[in-house]
Structure 1
Amino acid sequence: NLSTKLVGDLTGLVFSFILMLFVLFFLLRDHAKIVDTLHWVLPLSRSQEEALLTEAKMVARSAVLGSVLTAIAQGIAGGIAMAIVGFPGLFWGTMMAFASFIPAVGTALIWLPASLYLILTGDWGWGLFLAGWGVVVVGSIDNVLRPILMQGSSNMSTLLIFLSLIGGIQLFGLIGVIYGPIIFALTLVLLRIYTIEFKDFLEKQDNN
């Protein structure tokens, strides 16, 4: 039934969030060992390995920083709206910041029930205001600001960042916020290495 599905979905979201924190912890703790292992197993020249690992570092850093800054921005925007309509702004703004890490629903997990509560209790104006603020202001931060912030020092365009986020979340869940951009960036680096290494061959192919 519906309640069972909601509980299952919520459990999955919590598990995804915990998994993301777990992966991030070990990536940060064992960063040096992971890099050394990759240097050992990758069948590439040292310069090619450095290009791959440097790109992965930049994109991972941008992904984490972009997600955190987006969460803070959404929390501030959501907290302001909550305070305006009469809810404790600091508390619910903090809840929105954490909720922004949840794929698919995000901050709507907070502002949508609050809007419905206001509407059902007769405060139509404030309820519609909060819903509109959540969709237009808070939602725009997630859809527009997140890809821009996550672009960071990486060489990927905002469009590619946006597509990699969608694909990563679709395939991996919450941790896809990091996996998606990294996989996309590494693919672009490998293509760049291929075009450099096989430049003469590719030019001959074009001339035939």
Structure 2
Amino acid sequence: MISRPPSVPPASPESSSIDPERLKKQKAASVVLYIGLVLLALWVVRDFIVVVAWAGVVAIALWPLLHKLASKRWFNGRTTLLATLFTLVIALLVVLPVGLGIAQALHEAHELSDWFRGVQESGIPVPDFVGRLPFGVQQITAWWQANLAQPLRDSAAMKGLHSPTVMTLGRHFGARAVHAAMVFAFMLVTLFVIFQAGPRLSGSLLRAARRGFGDSGADLVQHMATAVRGTVSGLVVVGVGEGVLLGIAYFVTGVPHAALLGLVTAIAAMLPFCAPIVFALAALWLLAQGSLAGAIGLAVFGAIVVFVAEHFVRPVLIGNSTRLPFLLVLFGILGGAETFGLLGIFIGPALMTVLMVLWTDLVE
């Protein structure tokens, strides 16, 4: 007896054919769902986006060196050791200068405290250089006699130091310092995780960009990474150069702690137009000590160094690595800093690179 195969029920119209309109609605709903989930995730981690962005900038800058060391025999397969080494080096590069500055400030805190107690009782005499100023001598002398030359215990200037506004600013500065320290700590943790992921992370990002946007999207991501790397290199090289030149100027003009002040200048010079704050304060100190020629010389020399470095050397270094015109590099740095703050220094040239790539694709 031959058994018959079980009969298959006829397919329903809903399973045999897909309604195009229904499929279109499902895709639209899926896109809305995905976008909503991504926005919700970004909202949850909104306080850490800046941390991840800073860690990404540092990782992009050091990625070629990390990849080169990972291929060496000593670090082959030891991604955790390599990530720990890189993270510790970055932490020391930031913590060591800050620690030296705090140690120097504590070392001189006793002398500063004695000087402060002395001026409270006897005031600050009018410096000799005020009488040699080309203009405003009478006005400055009158203000100084009224506010600083008398014992400062009961002066208006001393009362202003204890005003609620000054106290509020001090507390605000302390809160900002604690917040910056926490951001730096979280950035180090994020950076360690990125370094530990190693080449797998960069490969995954490129595959995702190629799958989502094609080969042109992957190339665009690589161009943006090159722009960020070139920006970091330009900032560091120019900052170190400005610090060395101005450190020599501090030593020649007789500014105390010239080496430490040169290090501070180098760190400040890595940020656009921050070095003038340091050498201007040094020039004011020289002026207060009666060295008018030294103050003018330091101010003029510092202005020339900063002008050449910020307007010519730095844009050329960044432009050569990213193949961007001088004007786009300058607009990217300044516009990015104005729009996104400190992080915009790196975002701006990357966006200018995207603009340049899109323009090249359009005209070719």
TM-score higher than 0.5: yes
Answer yes or no: is 1:144 the counterpart of 2:312.
Answer: yes
Question: What aligned pairs does 1:80-91 form with structure 2 within 5 A after superposition?
Answer: 80-87=248-255, 88-91=257-260
Answer yes or no: is 1:64 the counterpart of 2:232.
Answer: yes
Answer yes or no: is 1:93 the counterpart of 2:262.
Answer: yes
Quick one: distance in 2 between partners of 1:141 and 1:50? 33
Name the structure 2 match of 1:158: 326
Q: CA deviation at 1:72?
A: 0.8
Q: Could you list the per-position Cα deviations for residues 6-47 of structure 1 after superposition, in whole angstroms to 9, with x for gaps in the alignment?
A: x75xx58x949x66x93994796367525623542563222x
Give the letter aligned to residue 187 of structure 2.
F
Name the structure 1 match of 2:338: 170
Name the structure 2 match of 1:117: 285
Q: CA deviation at 1:192?
A: 3.4
Instruction: Report SS of the residue matched to 1:152.
Output: helix
Q: CA deviation at 1:82?
A: 0.4
Give the letter aligned to residue 316 of structure 2.
I
Q: Does the 8 Å CA contact 2:276/2:306 hold for their aligned counterparts?
A: no
Quick one: distance in 1 between partners of 2:227 and 2:193? 14
Instruction: Report SS of the residue matched to 1:156.
Output: coil
Instruction: Report SS of the residue matched to 1:122.
Output: coil
Quick one: distance in 2 between partners of 1:151 and 1:90? 31
Give the letter aligned to residue 36 of structure 1.
S
Compared CA separation, residues 159 and 101, structure 1 to 2 (3 A): same
Name the structure 2 match of 1:204: none
Name the structure 1 match of 2:26: none
Q: Does the 8 Å CA contact 1:64/1:178 hold for their aligned counterparts?
A: yes
Moved more, 84-93 or 107-116: 84-93
Q: Could you list the per-position Cα deviations for residues 63-104 of structure 1 after superposition, in whole angstroms to 9, with x for gaps in the alignment?
A: 111111011111111111101111233221111001113455
Q: CA deviation at 1:163?
A: 0.6
Answer yes or no: is 1:192 the counterpart of 2:355.
Answer: no
Instruction: Report SS of the residue matched to 2:321.
Output: coil
Instruction: Report SS of the residue matched to 2:322.
Output: coil
Quick one: distance in 1 between partners of 2:276 and 2:328? 25
Give the letter aligned to residue 138 of structure 1.
V
Match of 2:302 among 122, 134, 138: 134
Quick one: distance in 2 between partners of 1:39 and 1:65? 27
Give the letter aligned to residue 349 of structure 2.
P
Q: Higher Cα Rg: structure 1 or 2?
A: 2
Task: Report the number of matched residues.
Answer: 191
Q: Does the 8 Å CA contact 1:85/1:126 hold for their aligned counterparts?
A: yes
Name the structure 1 match of 2:275: 107
Q: Relative contact order (C-alpha < 8 Å, sep 6+): which is higher?
A: 1
Match of 2:187 among 8, 13, 22: 22
Compared CA separation, residues 127 and 75, structure 1 to 2 (3 A): same
Q: Does the 8 Å CA contact 1:62/1:154 hold for their aligned counterparts?
A: yes
Quick one: distance in 2 between partners of 1:44 and 1:79? 49
Gaps of 5+ in 1: 197-208
Name the structure 1 match of 2:65: none
Compared CA separation, residues 94 and 124, structure 1 to 2 (3 A): same
Q: Does the 8 Å CA contact 1:147/1:158 hold for their aligned counterparts?
A: yes
Q: Could you list the per-position Cα deviations for residues 124-146 of structure 1 after superposition, in whole angstroms to 9, with x for gaps in the alignment?
A: 11111111111112332123211
Give the letter aligned to residue 241 of structure 2.
A
* Alignment root-mean-square deviation, CA: 3.4
Percent of aligned positions that are identical: 22
TM-score (norm 2): 0.46
Q: Does the 8 Å CA contact 2:315/2:330 hold for their aligned counterparts?
A: yes
Q: Does the 8 Å CA contact 1:169/1:180 hold for their aligned counterparts?
A: yes
Q: Does the 8 Å CA contact 1:111/1:130 hold for their aligned counterparts?
A: yes
Give the letter aligned to residue 136 of structure 1.
I
